[in-house]
Amino acid sequence: DEDGSADSSSNFAKLSEVAHKLLKQGWPDSVKLNKSNVGKLLSLYFGHSPDRIGALRYVIDEVLSEMPALVKGKCVAAFETCSHHTFGSYYSSSLEYLSRELASLLGSDATKTKDPRVAGKILEKLERLIELLSTLFSLTKHNDSLAKKNVILQQLKFGSKFVEIFVGKAIPFFQVHFQHHEKAIISIIRDVNRRCAHQLHHIISHGKREKDSNLAKEAPKAKKVLESMIHKVKMLLKKNQCMTAMETVELAEKDLDGTKVDTEDDSDSDEEDSESENEYDTDESS
């Protein structure tokens, strides 16, 4: 059975390697690159890689980082299936597998440990995933040409999923290990809040201003997730007599407090977001 398992793992690794090669190479002009082929290859590459975080890091840091300077109609030199046309497939696949990797990490047997050293390694991996998520979010935040409607919809959908997993699995883990890793845990919470949660709210506000029906459908779930994060983090800090850290992680800001993002306060939230009102302006001409 062990030999069979090893063979299976080897075959999956080879499948990931083949998908990687196909993603890097140029395809005939007659082949239309889209989610059905590029998306599937990315799924095979990420899902079966023996180093999934490494595969995600490579695509996000080395491939997608080229997109802001990429001329439309051109492709990333070292990864020829990546272009403005296929960016949506790359972006959504990367977001989806970041969420899956987070769930895998926090659902592993290692998270049941009481050993501070093992917990520290898990926190380091968690920090790497959050850093990659932040990089993806920055791509749309700072580059209007990449912030298409379908892209920010996937960002809201999978970004909310990431936060949902974080709240459900990371917060209980933090409670067990808070005493030994207080500084790292507060830093992680702050990063998720600043780099992810804030931007999700901006997307929700953008959807409301633009009367985007697709974003409006995702908004209630996203708001609920953000409210849950505030509630769970407050409980965590209160239990550990660390409420002064609230200012450090900026959890009390109006645009994230669950009691202040309902319909009665939406006008106030929109005013707060006015500085970033054009942050997700989209160009559907291409």
Whole-angstrom CA distances from 206 to 98, 143, 217 are 24, 15, 13
Which residues 6+ apart lie within 8 Å of 118 measured at CB? 110
Q: What is the pLDDT of residue 271?
A: 43
Percent of the chain at pLDDT exceeding 90 = 78
The pTM score is: 0.84
Integer Cα distance of 22 and 67 in angstroms: 19
Number of neighbours of residue 2 by Cβ within 10 angstroms: 6
Among 83, 79, 81, 12, smallest CA distance to 44 is for 12
Q: What is the pLDDT of residue 6?
A: 63
Each residue's pLDDT tens digit, 42-68: 999 999 999 999 999 999 999 999 999
Integer Cα distance of 123 and 26 in angstroms: 38
Q: What is the pLDDT of residue 10?
A: 86
pLDDT tens-digit profile, the chain (286 residues): 445 556 677 899 999 999 999 999 999 989 999 999 999 999 999 999 999 999 999 999 999 999 999 999 999 999 999 999 999 999 999 999 999 999 999 999 999 989 999 999 999 999 999 999 999 999 999 999 999 999 999 999 999 999 999 999 999 999 999 999 999 999 999 999 998 999 999 999 999 999 999 999 999 999 999 999 999 999 999 999 877 665 555 543 333 223 344 434 444 444 444 433 334 443 433 3
| Token code pair at residue 68 | 């802001």
